[in-house]
Structure 1
Amino acid sequence: MAWWWEDDPAYQAVVRAFVDGDPEDHAGGPLDVRAVVAMLSRESKDAFAYDDIPWDRFPCGPETRDNVARLRSADANVVYGALRGVHGELANSAWSVAALAVPFLLRVAADPDGHHRAYALELAAGIVQWTPGPGRCTRETLLRVGDGGWRYEPSAYVGTWGIEAARDAVAADADLVMALLDDPDPEVRAAAAYAGVVASGRIDDIRDALHTRFRDEADPAVRAGLVLALAQLAYVDPAPEHEAWTQALWADPAMPPAVRVSAALGWLCLTDAPVPDDLRAVLDACATGETAQLMKSLPWMRAVDYDGDTALQRCVLGLLHPDQAAKPVMDDPWGRPPAFA
């Protein structure tokens, strides 16, 4: 007996194109999600015209389309369920259809009257952000954006194309994302920083916007998140001055503890140099339970521990003593979503 999805026309088309044929023959064509996202006009995105996307070309497309259609509901519970639906496709490694939702996720976040705006931003970024799984925190993984390899979806679609499409979608709407760095909601500001660093272009503009926000930011948790975002950009686009900036922050006793801790974590990921004694002293003094509680809601922390409760402890142990780091807990790809209002 065939599984239900084996009778699905989209699945059959993917098998013919990517299993029986050469995927590169379809680059730029109607089955290339990167091309589909790129062809979506700014007018269609701003009008939330999700039916301008050919959802039925992609496995799980109609289901994702239905979830996107519910994102602008006046009922917060309906929006939350729709986001969970897109999250579920991502958890099932359907990067392509999740990428098709990115322009609309960003507009949900940009709507001051929208619901679960920070979750929408974090979900858009999560298509790209490489999460090593709870407990797997090392100098090589904490700030990594991608694993560098090819990914394939259960349908055999080239999942790497979906990840690239999501990065391109964020880059195309970089102005929208950067504007959200000034949003009144601190959770949205932190999520905007997390989303901005995955863009495929305009890196210098995004870095400048993050630095500007950092200088003006008053919320200590958001400031810590901005430091992690800037360190992550430096991990992707390395330069000596970026490493020096993080070092200056963690070495500055005038900086708040969470900022010094984030800068120390960032510096450790940007260099393979031996850990200096003064950095260890900073972490001993600043990586307290109070700091861990303050930082637990940051997306980078939840990538290490879904609840965030043990994230900072795991980060410090994994970065300073990788041989002593706790074994990873069960890696649940569905995870516990952020409980943003």
Structure 2
Amino acid sequence: MTWWETDPVYQAVAQAFVGRDPEEHAGGPLDVRAVLASLSRETKDAFAYDDVPWGRFPRGPQIRDDVARLRCDDADVVYRALRGVNGELADSAWSVAALAVPFLLRVAADPGGHCRAYALELAAGIVQWTPGPGRCTREELLRVTDGGRRYEPSGYFGTWGIEAARDAIAADADLVMALLDDPDPQVRVAAAYAAVVASGRIDDIRGALHTRLRAEADPAVRAGLVLAIAQLAYEHADPAWEAWAKALWSDPATPPAVRVSAALGWLCLTDTPVPDVLCAVLDACATDETARLMEPLPWMRAADYGGDTGLRRCLRGLLRPESIEPQWDDPWSSPPALT
């Protein structure tokens, strides 16, 4: 008999969810959405992680210990703690990873904190359906979720964990949007990556992304903002998007990386045949230099595989999907570098 077969938390979850309708527990103590919604702003701002009922959920105490280390003065300790949360997420423990989201966002919001961009990306990663190798098609590259029902190894209804993370980001949307103006360009990109998966405040988030884009000087960050705006338009219809994106990728005065991002987004949000003029733009702008510039963007890192840069693989998938061999995703893939 394995240890989890006698663990009382696993047993309680299995009894509640295995072979049962999860809606029987909607809004109750095992609904991670309700648990997160019940946390007060004061609890979150005070980093009072012990007010969270970690013990109700499998692997909760382990993530609680990682969250407790997120404000350590030692950057290596913080990095390992984030890797711990990422490890639970890689093992499909969406529910307890979602419980960490308010604290991940506050780590990112602390100017003196460590690994701030990684914390934001990890919060978003609970929700972001990583495109991964073989999924760089026009239908899949910017998709946030695959729409399927998720279950955790314990039997817990993992879809609730994903929904809880989206709700938690929406609840702290003001905090995330403020980070779009952070001095650190990596944090600005990660804030955009996180903002677009929120379950609410969509118009506010869209406006904040456009405002930041107009002020942004860093070409890599601008490229990331365009991808974020495209992803938001993919998930939440924006009738102005197609013309706006076409104006960006058609403008020779626009930086190459921004033109490429706009072209990628345009391809994902339209189903028309690829026009020759767009192919010419990509031939001119999607250079090795542009690929290196865009390589740190989380959308590109998610698509990187087998020696291809993320951009090269995206272009192959978008323009020649038949050339992409499907591969298993790697949930343990490399996080952002420790900075």
Is contact 2:98-2:164 (8 Å) kept?
yes
**Residue 234 of structure 1 contacts residue 243 of structure 1 at CA under 8 Å; is this kept in 2?**
no
Task: Quickly say closer, same or farther: Cα 1:262–1:20, change in 2 above 3 A.
Answer: closer
Bigger drift between 257-266 and 231-240 goes to 231-240
Runs of 4 or more consecutive aligned structure 1 residues displaced over 4 Å after TM superposition? 306-309
* Alignment partner, residue 71 of structure 2: 72
Q: Structure 2 CA distance, aligned partners of 1:130 and 1:17?
A: 27
Deviation at 1:183, TM superposition (A): 0.2
The answer (yes or no) to whether the contact 1:302–1:308 under 8 Å persists in 2 is no
Aligned length: 339
Once the 2 structures are TM-superposed, how far is the Cα of residue 22 of structure 1 from its aligned partner?
2.7
Alignment of 1:92-241 (within 5 A): 92-241=91-240
The percent of aligned pairs where both chains have the same amino acid is: 78
> Residue by residue, what CA displacement relative to the aligned partner does 1:281-331 show, whole Å, maximum 9, x if unpaired?
000000000000000000000110169951111111110111123x24553
- Stretch moving more, 296-305 or 327-336: 327-336
Q: How far apart are the structure 1 equivalents of 2:19 and 2:218?
A: 53
State the distance in 1 between where 2:43 and 2:295 align. Answer: 37
Contact 1:306–1:336 (Cα < 8 Å) also in 2:
no
Which residue matches 2:255?
A: 256
1:85, distance to aligned residue in structure 2 (A): 0.2
Unaligned runs of 5+ in 2: none
Residue identity in the other structure for 1:304: A
String of CA shifts for 1:82-130, please: whole Å, max 9, x gaps. 0000000000000000000000000000000000000000000000000
Say which SS state the counterpart of residue 303 (structure 2) adopts.
Answer: coil
Q: CA RMSD in A?
A: 1.2
TM-aligned CA deviation for residue 332 of structure 1: 1.8
Letter in 1 for 2:25: H
Query: In the alignment, which of 329, 333, 339 is matched to residue 331 of structure 1?
Result: 329
- In structure 1, the partner of 2:314 is 315
**Range with bigger deviation, 174-183 or 21-30:** 21-30
> Counterparts of 2:144 and 2:20 in 1: how far apart (Å)?
30
Q: Is the deviation greater in 200-209 or in 239-248?
A: 239-248
Q: 1:308 to 1:177 in 2, by over 3 A?
A: farther
Cα deviation 1:152-209 (Å, max 9, x = unaligned): 0000100100000000000000000000000000000000000000000000000000
Alpha-carbon offset, residue 243 of structure 1: 1.4
Residues 183 and 189 of structure 1 are in contact (CA less than 8 Å); yes or no, is this contact kept in structure 2?
yes
Alignment partner of 2:321: what SS?
coil
User: Shift of the alpha carbon at 1:21?
Assistant: 3.5
Q: Aligned partners of 2:12 and 2:135: how far apart in 1?
A: 37
Partners of 1:79 and 1:112 lie apart in 2 by 14
Between the aligned partners of 2:41 and 2:192, the Cα distance in structure 1 is 22
